[in-house]
Amino acid sequence: MTTLKSRLLSVCAACAVAVPITSFADVNVYSYRQSFLIEPIFTAFTEETGIKVNSVFAKNGLVERLQNEGRNSPADLLLTTDSGPLYQAVDLGLTQAISSDTLSQNIPAEFRDPSGHWFGLSSRARLIVASKDRVDASTIKDYEDLAKDEFKSQVCTRSGKHTYMVALSASIIAHHGLERATAWLSGVKNNLARKPQGNDRAQVKAIQQGECDIAIINSYYIGKMLADEEQIKWAESVNIIFPNQSNRGTHMNISGVSLTAGSPNRDEAIKLIEFMSSDKAQSIYAETNYEYPVKADVSWSDLVKSWGTFKTDSLPLAEIAKHRSDAVKMADIVGYD
Ligand code: FE
């Protein structure tokens, strides 16, 4: 990884004086997002700007790594699969604010930090899915319905402390207050068919295999399962429900990015973030990973279009994030896991 700007020397032939030319530095990215998705975006960025991108991918521990490296970290950007690690990094003082007209124009206000420390780059709906064979999908309209007695022993989810579940619980707290949200989560827990386990796709597999009937998952996993020979039958066993259409709208989450506090290549890193919010990069998010572009005028993939348009919860993620620590405590209080 390059931490210093490399310099080239060229010779002015006419005047025969050595003229220093500063080349663009590389941008170094710590990424929780997988290579298959971000490499095409980085390649397009390098083609357009000549700036190289070096990335380190890991499923866990990148925020801790940034913290341990401190000001010596070569990382310019932290790229995440969810808003949780962004808040963690901001809370630890590992990020810095950016003010960019391009980012303000391309990314809706609810999907970025008001103080400029993080930016959403793609969004996804937290869907309810229900067995086509065993559940009348019209009986489930809202996340709140999952706590109703009629769905006893039918629901399965991943851990209540996973960042996707924490974000949803935090949004319920933001809308209903802690007391009602705790009663809701307790109701969902009482309806669980099994101990929370596995990832989002594992919940759909469990429905297909008859272990449970109703689950909560991120929207892009439907697309990923439909594109997988083994998993297609899982996806085809469920109906998709966009929750809360007659009230506040479906809970959305983001993948996103922060500029590190000590970014050695700040200007180039900001260029990369701006590029990731551009039409070109937003289309890659839409087509490669079945996500919703955050930039309003970028088309959804044909598959995602086929699920239809829907109302989204417009409460800013920064407001929802204020309730994250209560959401984690709430999972403990109700003994969710
Ligand atoms: Fe995911």
User: What does the pLDDT read at residue 101?
Assistant: 98
- Dist. CA 5 → ligand 1 center (Å): 35
What contacts 228, CB < 8 A, 6 or more positions away?
none
Residues 6+ apart with CB under 8 A from 136: none
Q: What is the pLDDT of residue 119?
A: 98
- 215 C-alpha vs ligand 1 centroid, how far in Å? 15
Q: How far is the CA of 286 from the centre of ligand 1 (A)?
A: 14
CA of 81 to the centre of ligand 1 (A): 6
Q: Do residues 121 and 37 make contact, with C-beta atoms less than 8 angstroms apart?
A: no
- Separation of CA 218 and ligand 1 centre (Å): 7
Backbone torsion region of residue 24, taken as left when φ is above 0, otherwise alpha when ψ lies between -120 and 50, otherwise beta: beta
Task: Tell me which fold the domain 25-123+252-298 belongs to.
Answer: D-Maltodextrin-Binding Protein; domain 2 (3.40.190)
- pLDDT of the residue at 25: 87
User: How many angstroms separate the alpha carbon of residue 173 from the centre of ligand 1?
Assistant: 22
Structure tokens at 107: 């990314």
Measured between alpha carbons, how far is residue 36 from residues 31, 50, 200 in Å? 12, 21, 19
What's the CATH number for 125-251+318-333? Answer: 3.40.190.10
- Asked, colleague to colleague, whether 25-123+252-298 and 125-251+318-333 share their fold, the answer is yes
User: In tens digits, what is the pLDDT along the chain, a chain of 337 residues?
Assistant: 444 433 333 333 333 344 344 457 899 999 999 998 999 999 999 999 999 999 999 999 999 999 999 989 999 999 999 999 999 999 999 999 999 999 999 999 999 999 999 999 999 999 999 999 999 999 999 999 999 999 999 999 999 999 999 999 999 999 999 999 999 999 999 999 999 999 999 999 999 999 999 999 999 999 999 999 999 999 999 999 999 999 999 999 999 999 999 999 999 999 999 999 999 999 999 999 999 999 999 999 999 999 999 999 999 999 999 999 999 999 999 999 9
Domain boundaries, the chain: 25-123+252-298, 125-251+318-333
Structure-token pair, residue 197: 């386990």
